[in-house]
Amino acid sequence: MKKFRKVLDGLSSSSPGGVASPSCGSAAGTPTAHAPTPQDIHVQETLVSENFQICKTVRHGFPYQPTCLAFDPVQKILAIGSRTGGIRILGRPGVDCYSQHESGAAVLQLQFLINEGALVTACADDTLHLWNLRQRRPAILHSLKFNRERITFCHLPFQSKWLYVGTERGNTHIVNIESFVLSGYVIMWNKAIELATKAHPGPVVHLSDSPKDEGKLLIGFESGTVVQWDLRSKKVDFRIYYDEAIHSVSWHHEGKQFMCSHSDGSLTMWNLRNTARPIQITYPHGKILKDGRKESCKPILKVEYKTSRNSEPYVIFSGGLSYDKSGGRRPTLTIMHGKAITVLEMDHPIVEFLVLCDTPYSNEVQDPYAVVVLLEKDFIVVDLTQSNFPIFENPYPMDIHESPVTCTAYFAECPPDIIPILYSIGAKQKKTGYSHKEWPVSGGTWTLGSQTYPEIIVTGHADGTVKFWDASAITLQMLYKLKTSKVFEKPKAGEGRAGELVEEDPYAIQMVSWCPHSRLFCVVGISAHVILYRFSKHDANTQIVSLEVRLQFDSEDVISPSEAENNPCFSDPSSPQPPGSPGSGTQDSLPCLKVKSRPVRMPPGYQAEMVVQLQWVDGEPPQQITSLDINSAYGLLAFGNCNGLTVVDFLQKTILMCMGTLDLYGAADPYQRLTRSPRKNRQSTSDFCMRGLSHFYSDSKKRIRTSYQSLTELSDNQVSMDMERSKSPTSESRENSFSRSRSSSVSSIDRDTKESVTTLQFGESYGRKGDALPTACLWVGTSLGVVLLLPISIPTEEEERMEEPITMGPSGTVLMLKGSVLRFAFLDCGGALIQSPYEVWRDPNGPEDPDRPRRRKLINFSPSSSQEACGDGHLAVVCSEKQAKVILMPTQAVLFTHNITESSFLLRADVVSVCNSVCLACFCANGHIMTLSLPSLRPLMDINYLPLTDLRIARTFVFTNGGQALYLSSPTEIQRLTYSQEMTDNLQDMLGELFTPIETPEAQNKGFLKGFFGGNAQTFDREELFGEAAAGKASRSLAQHIPGPMGLENMKAAAGGVVGDLARARIALDQRGERLGELEERTALMMNSAETFSTHAHQVMLKHKDKKWYQL
């Protein structure tokens, strides 16, 4: 400790007053000149490169741009394919797996190998893939690439190893699932149709084997032709020609009838005894007009014909509405059960639906119990067992995108009581009317991992809602939903300022700040408003306090167009008209939204206490808020934008300070900018006015919209950083780093430029170099890389705190970095992270105890509290877009400097705890994820995680403690990842098992007569027909076999598959042994019964042997 004091003294004497100049270009981990070395500060760094590894953990949300659906009725797991080549496999809650085709080609069709733990995918690049699901992370075992024909439809019969593949040319090929090679057996289109037919029948749109005879294959062509092909004789049994195009075919389970859906909205029923014409043609939604014509209807894209044991058959189809009705109606799913027709309207277009049945056998009574409906932006399951067809409550977080996500926050290691409290409050918000039955997709197994701790994800949305999610144990469950729009009056179209914003989501959330300990919550909205919430278990009638702040600027300070070329983020070159256009001054001194003036009844949960809004100035809307911080112990709220900084005392409900960015410097402006000329005709205002510069505005609505439009638009275009920087609309959002000027040279800033407040942090620190003890401070970082400290004087007594004014102001302290400042953090001299002080939560609406007056309980993490003696100082970690610095306080000497990137810039930086230590985690615009040790800033990891980063990922990427991070991978999905080697090693134990050994249900015994007269051929052997011995080899040029990547993962998968096979074989042997034992017992009983019957019969015969007929 004595040695450390000498170091501090040396720093004090060697550090001149004024600006602490950055050591540009210093190497990583090397001490700055005239600063102590890492050995002098005695911080034992424990983190090494081996502690870090990037690995995706789990993906939450609705699959973006879904294309197809499949269900395994035995394993009870469900798969969804997407347009971007992704596969989501879902089972019971906790069993949620995401896999991706490397090609990125759209998934056209999915086929489970039922109860085999495998899945076949057919992709738009005409490739078939076989996935092994007997491992926690599925892997491709085989691929087959078709070279000359395009795949249109696939069918895999139950318990068959031969896959039928239909193509665009009308041919049907057969693939061996085990070896994944083509059979020489091919059904050519010209053999399937009559020779006299001149037209091509079109692509194959349906393939299915007859439930009555597996040797008969039904082939449906797009033109309306249906052919039943006898696989044994290689001949056509019958051909059906229909005028309308076919979209789907569905068999009756007895195999004597099938139903087709057509492009004219009709359903046709065909009987195999007479295929000349359909036995029934129906237009379910088409009426006969007065002139006798049928209404024209939309196509029925899919039909399912399912029989029921105890009721009439179900006919379920999508589409088919008449064009007159469908104009104003939503997409529909129709359920025809007997004479009853139920039309279910959907919120989004139907992609595909599946009917879930009890049996996997197509030749048994189906008994459907649910319908899975995959929509473009939703996923629902309908209960068929109840007459009103209710839907099941979805256990998966499929509604993340209910309103587009505009910001995210991630909190690990939360207080253990916060999740149960939020869940109990949020349970009252849940909808009712769901089916009372259990969720039918119940496959797989999942157990709670050993390394779990409370985690919460917060998402802000375009409609002003905020959602709290329980993210513990790599799951995601909705906890609580907060609607910030309820604070405001509803804007009416055409009314002044509201008329311009009513169509632009004026409540959209830009950023959030949450203290889980004090349960204080703050949101920043797109309309330049800040809302402060307190948590209460009781409802209350509250008067919301509304504060308004006026931002002023000098018209002389507007940058000229020539200057704006060097600073593209500060102007809109397309419209160089100056702000304050004539005729628009009627909106001055008004905020964008109107807060409710009457007392508002607020339910339990988060209740609004205060709203701070920025006002219009010179007919222009206020600039967007770019930074926010709140501290419950100090009772202060701070936010800033491109014009300056505002600090609000939310205990006294007053504006404490409102100051322009340049005024924060005082005499210590590092750029020596000229004093601005007084503004002409300046209105007399209070001292709480902001001064600064203005943006050029061409369209107010467009400007306000741009900070989150890239997140709300459902586009999947990945755009490189450079493209985004060149064409992105200007925006002052903290996350929108692309449009800022990247120039770090002082020469380019010698003119007057707009300087935004980019980050804020309250904490115990040293406001001035001569301070002996730490005090409350506000650290301010700007877009020009300047760090300012504002010491705060807060009364210590609670009574004084509520009445006496707080004093704060610039201290003249200035530090410099390259690029815009992103993050502050504080370490003690032992290298441990210092948390910000907070107030222990107390219910503001709880019952009063007269004997025990309620007092504030503050928890203070002072830099000196964790050290042996007071006044030893602390370390401040400051990270900008280009570099990071570690500064020793109170001397303000720079100990370490590390230039993180030269060619790119950081989008996100967080100081996080990993492996019982701390590090600086960074996400770069070029897709790199990096970690640096603290305090020495030694590089520990640098991995190119995303080669291209789009704006959505850039704005939503966030790190948290425990080595975890997340981002919005698509408009509907959250991708979580870990950068910790420890969590990567334990990930297998945290994921769910997709495959569980289950005995395949036995086929029903049809009885002697039904089996004899039914003609069901049980001796059909596909191997004899399709094997190489009988059918020969397929042409090598037709398809190319691609073996799966062989590696450790596949070896584990194979081992897992063998274990699964052994387990299933053991179960089968046990069950077979039990059946054999039962059979022996039954045989013995039957033999005893037969002997007894024979004895009795012989006795009766002897008794009546010699009697005459009239004596009987």
The pLDDT assigned to 949 comes to 67
Nearest CA among 404, 532, 522, 514 for reference residue 463: 404
CB distance 112 to 70 below 8 Å: yes
Asked which of 69-83, 442-456, 662-676, 919-933 is least confident by mean pLDDT, the reply is 662-676
Q: Average of pLDDT values for 733-750?
A: 36
The pLDDT assigned to 552 comes to 63
User: How far apart (Å, rounded) are the C-alpha atoms in residues 46 and 918?
Assistant: 9
CB distance 863 to 847 below 8 Å: no
CB distance 161 to 175 below 8 Å: no
Element (H, E) at 375: strand 368-375
**Cα 951 to chain centroid, rounded:** 15
For residue 301, pLDDT beyond 60: yes
Nearest CA among 978, 991, 981 for reference residue 412: 978
Nearest CA among 464, 408, 376, 137 for reference residue 974: 408
Residue with tokens 């004539």: 582
User: How far apart (Å, rounded) are the C-alpha atoms in residues 535 and 129?
Assistant: 51
Residue with tokens 């306080």: 889
User: Residue 718 — very low, low, confident or very high, per pLDDT cuts 50/70/90?
Assistant: very low
Q: Average of pLDDT values for 846-869?
A: 64
Q: Average of pLDDT values for 698-712?
A: 39
For residue 1015, pLDDT beyond 70: no
Asked which of 179-183, 235-239, 427-431, 736-740 is least confident by mean pLDDT, the reply is 736-740
The pLDDT assigned to 1086 comes to 79
Residue with tokens 């610095």: 885
CB distance 132 to 138 below 8 Å: yes
The pLDDT assigned to 326 comes to 55
What does the DSSP 8-state code read for residue 883?
Answer: E
The pLDDT assigned to 1069 comes to 61
The pLDDT assigned to 811 comes to 82
pLDDT tens figures, 41-56:
678 889 999 999 999 9
The pLDDT assigned to 851 comes to 59
417-438: buried (b, 16+ CB within 10 Å) or exposed (e) per residue? ebbebbeebbeeeeeeeebeee
User: How far apart (Å, rounded) are the C-alpha atoms in residues 466 and 477?
Assistant: 14
Q: Average of pLDDT values for 333-340?
A: 93
Query: Edge-to-edge, what's the strand order for the sheet holding 172-176?
Result: 151-155, 162-167, 172-176, 181-187
Tokens of 261: 């859906």
CB distance 943 to 937 below 8 Å: no
Q: Could you tell me the maximum CA-CA distance found in the chain, to the nearest angstrom?
A: 143
The pLDDT assigned to 852 comes to 59
Q: What are the φ and ψ backbone dihedral angles of 751, each rounded to 5 degrees?
A: -95, 175
Residue with tokens 């085999």: 116
374 versus 1029: which is more confidently predicted?
374
Which residues touch 152 (CB under 8 Å, ≥6 apart)?
108, 166, 167, 168, 203, 204, 205
Q: Average of pLDDT values for 58-71?
A: 96
For residue 318, pLDDT beyond 80: yes
323-353: buried (b, 16+ CB within 10 Å) or exposed (e) per residue? eeebeeeebbbbbbbeeeeeebebeeebbbb
Tokens of 842: 């107390």
CB distance 786 to 821 below 8 Å: yes
Burial class (CB in 10 A: 0-12, 13-18, 19+), 199: exposed
**Cα 948 to chain centroid, rounded:** 19
Which residues touch 492 (CB under 8 Å, ≥6 apart)?
498, 499, 502
Asked which of 92-96, 595-599, 735-739 is least confident by mean pLDDT, the reply is 735-739
28 versus 154: which is more confidently predicted?
154
User: How far apart (Å, rounded) are the C-alpha atoms in residues 538 and 605?
Assistant: 8
pLDDT tens figures, 612-654:
999 988 878 888 999 999 999 999 999 999 989 999 999 999 9
**DSSP count for the chain of H helices, then E strands:** 18, 62
Q: Average of pLDDT values for 761-772?
A: 88
User: Residue 1061 — very low, low, confident or very high, per pLDDT cuts 50/70/90?
Assistant: low
Neighbours of 362 (CB within 10 A): 18
The pLDDT assigned to 508 comes to 95
Please state, for a pLDDT cut of 70, what percent of the chain lies above it.
76
Q: Average of pLDDT values for 325-352?
A: 88
Residue with tokens 């027909």: 1025
Residue 157, amino acid: P
Tokens of 76: 């009870």
For residue 166, pLDDT beyond 80: yes
List the end-to-end C-alpha distance of the chain, in Å, as a whole number: 124
The pLDDT assigned to 583 comes to 36
The pLDDT assigned to 697 comes to 25
For residue 290, pLDDT beyond 80: no
Q: Average of pLDDT values for 136-141?
A: 93
User: How far apart (Å, rounded) are the C-alpha atoms in residues 960 and 962?
Assistant: 7
Neighbours of 275 (CB within 10 A): 16
Nearest CA among 205, 123, 213 for reference residue 1011: 213
Asked which of 174-183, 412-421, 778-787, 1038-1047 is least confident by mean pLDDT, the reply is 1038-1047
User: Residue 498 — very low, low, confident or very high, per pLDDT cuts 50/70/90?
Assistant: very low
User: How far apart (Å, rounded) are the C-alpha atoms in residues 546 and 608?
Assistant: 11
Residues in the chain: 1112
The pLDDT assigned to 451 comes to 61
Nearest CA among 987, 12, 5 for reference residue 451: 987
For residue 1111, pLDDT beyond 70: no
Q: Average of pLDDT values for 548-571?
A: 47
Nearest CA among 126, 143, 134 for reference residue 97: 134
What does the DSSP 8-state code read for residue 567?
Answer: -
User: Residue 240 — very low, low, confident or very high, per pLDDT cuts 50/70/90?
Assistant: very high
User: Residue 702 — very low, low, confident or very high, per pLDDT cuts 50/70/90?
Assistant: very low
For residue 1071, pLDDT beyond 70: no
CA dihedral sign of residues 727, 729, 730, 736 = negative
- Half-sphere exposure (CA, 13 Å, Cβ side) for 880? 27
Mean of per-residue pLDDT scores for the chain = 81
The pLDDT assigned to 574 comes to 33
User: How far apart (Å, rounded) are the C-alpha atoms in residues 799 and 790?
Assistant: 24
Measured CA to CA in angstroms, residue 373 lies from 71, 114, 300, 344, 362 at distances of 12, 20, 15, 11, 21
Tokens of 1008: 């002697």
User: How far apart (Å, rounded) are the C-alpha atoms in residues 805 and 656?
Assistant: 8
Nearest CA among 521, 515, 754 for reference residue 640: 754
CA dihedral sign of residues 720, 726, 731, 734 = positive
SS3 443: coil
DSSP secondary structure letters along 92-110 = STT-EEEEE-TT-PPEEEE
Tokens of 724: 């985004």
CB distance 482 to 465 below 8 Å: yes
SS3 681: coil
Residue with tokens 């006919």: 315
Tokens of 610: 């205060």
SS3 1062: helix
Give whichever of 28-32, 226-230, 571-575, 732-736 has the largest mean pLDDT: 226-230
1074-1107: buried (b, 16+ CB within 10 Å) or exposed (e) per residue? eeeeeeeeeeeeeeeeeeeeeeeeeeeeeeeeee
CB distance 396 to 972 below 8 Å: no
Strands (E), 569-666: 600-602, 605-614, 627-631, 636-640, 644-649, 654-660
User: How far apart (Å, rounded) are the C-alpha atoms in residues 619 and 548?
Assistant: 16
User: Residue 114 — very low, low, confident or very high, per pLDDT cuts 50/70/90?
Assistant: very high
Q: Which residues pair with 480 in a beta bridge?
A: 468
For residue 30, pLDDT beyond 60: no
The pLDDT assigned to 230 comes to 94
For residue 868, pLDDT beyond 60: no
User: How far apart (Å, rounded) are the C-alpha atoms in residues 98 and 59?
Assistant: 6
